Amino acid sequence: MKRLILTLLASTIAASSVVFAADAPKAQSLDQLLDMVRKAQTAESELNRQREAQFKQARDQQAALLNQAKAELAELERESDRLKAAFDANEKELAVLEEQKTVRVGNLGEMFGVVRQAAGDMAARINRSYVSAEIPGRAKFLEDMAQSKALPKIEALRNLWVSMQQEMTEQGKISRFTAPVVLGDGTQVERELVRVGAFNLVSDGEYYIYSPETNQIQELARQPVARVVSLVDDFESNSSGFEPLYVDPTRGGLLQLVVQAPDLMEKYHQGGVVGYVITGVFFVGILIVLERLITLTIVGGQIRSQLKSATPGNNPLGRVMSVYLANKDADTDNLELKLDEAIMKEVPRLERGIAMVKVFAALAPLLGLLGTVTGMIETFQVITMFGAGDPKLMASGISTALVTTVQGIVTAIPLVFLHSLISGRSKSLIHILEEQSTGIIAQHAEKKGA
């Protein structure tokens, strides 16, 4: 370091000499030159003394700063030792206090855990309760209590007990109150509601649900079946006594499932194309049955009227009698053949369409089975693609596939019954024709024998 300083000093002096030499005027004589050299030496000595003084001053300042830093370091080390000793002492004291706390708390520690758990469970129950739709904000205190790290005070325990007692008391009450209701289109309206314990909310003949996630009362997208909703109006209007009402013990769970469950028309459309074909078969069969019932009823009336008249009319029995009158001089065998021929002509008219109804009754279940098989194939294709991890997906597909089977059976049952009905009527009329034909032949044979 000293060598570097000396080198810099020598360079500075040399440069100064050069400067002075360059700036000094030229001497005219030796005396003048000597005088100039002395002056330059004096000036250079003064400059060196100033520089040495500056160097010494800077050295003294740096030494003072160094001594100050060393003093501060020593003070900080002493402070660190003091704080470390205090920290160790506090750790020992804290351990002693924790031990004293454990001894003094005793069973209260277990009680603290039980209270926190009870407060958390009660807060969750109150948040889901329909009572909160009428009395909101009851769970905030319980949630804070469940998250607290300190031992609960007597007042907090009393408030917990009051909250439990209030919830139990309100569950046994039927209360009327006014609150905002969120409709299906998202708008809010004020409604007078009837709260049935902690289970249901009803108003204007409809059921409502309470959403704990949004703390709002919501309108159901679809109400339950009519036999359930029909009791709500009478229940709301009654101010004393007893009225029946369907209660949802799951606090809205069953009512929300009603929205997801398809109604009758939705189930019908689940049958798809096969279901529509079965419906077409059903209505065509019904039309045939109606036509046959009307026709056979009219023909039956005409035949019964003809039984009371000897003049042939425009009806099956009248036409059979006309054949007899046209061939009454023929022998018995020929007359019997003529009458059989006349009856055979009437039978197709009386039995027209009956066989088709029987075919439809047998075809409907087969179509239903076809729809079920195709639906099951589609279901298993979906399971193959996405796996069978979701039982709802598989159950929904099977349920949809079975709809066509139900449609086929529902179509076949009435068609079988109606086929039996019109077939019986037709056979009854044919039996009358055969009976009358046999009687005519018997009378004709008696006349010929006489």
**Any bridge partners for residue 396, and if so which?**
none
How far apart (Å, rounded) are the C-alpha atoms in residues 225 and 230? 9
Pair 169, 193: CB distance under 8 Å: no
> What is the torsional sign of CA 88, 94, 95, 100?
positive
Q: Residue 385: is its pLDDT beyond 80?
A: no
pLDDT at 387: 67
Q: What is the mean pLDDT of the chain?
A: 83
pLDDT at 12: 47
Q: Residue 8: is its pLDDT beyond 60?
A: no
Closest CA to 375 of 289, 266, 275, 259: 275
pLDDT at 25: 59
* Residue 330: both structure tokens together: 């023929």
Average pLDDT over residues 202-218: 85
pLDDT digits (tens, 9 = 90+) for 61-120: 998 899 999 999 999 999 999 999 999 999 999 988 888 777 666 666 677 778 888 888
pLDDT at 287: 96
Q: Residue 400: is its pLDDT beyond 60?
A: yes
State how far the alpha carbon of 46 is from the alpha carbons of 20, 42, 191, in Å: 14, 6, 105
- In this prediction, what percent of the chain has a pLDDT beyond 90? 20
pLDDT digits (tens, 9 = 90+) for 106-160: 666 677 778 888 888 888 888 888 888 888 888 888 888 888 877 778 888 888 8
Structure-token match 């750790």, residue found: 91
Average pLDDT over residues 236-260: 79
pLDDT at 4: 40
How far apart (Å, rounded) are the C-alpha atoms in residues 45 and 218? 102
Return the SS3 of 219: strand
pLDDT at 409: 95
Confidence band (pLDDT; 50, 70, 90) for 204? Answer: confident
How far apart (Å, rounded) are the C-alpha atoms in residues 214 and 207? 18
Closest CA to 219 of 189, 260, 257: 189
Could you tell me what percentage of the chain is helix, strand and coil, using 3-state DSSP and rounding each to the nearest 5? 75, 5, 20
* Residue 98: both structure tokens together: 């924790």
How far apart (Å, rounded) are the C-alpha atoms in residues 261 and 264? 10
DSSP per-residue letters across 121-173: HHHHHHHHSTHHHHSTT-HHHHHHHHH--SPPPHHHHHHHHHHHHHHHHHHT-
pLDDT at 105: 63
pLDDT digits (tens, 9 = 90+) for 250-287: 877 787 777 777 777 878 888 888 899 999 999 999 99
* Residue 373: both structure tokens together: 């098989």
How far apart (Å, rounded) are the C-alpha atoms in residues 295 and 293? 6
Answering whether pTM is above 0.75, one says: no
Encoded amino acid at 8, one letter: L
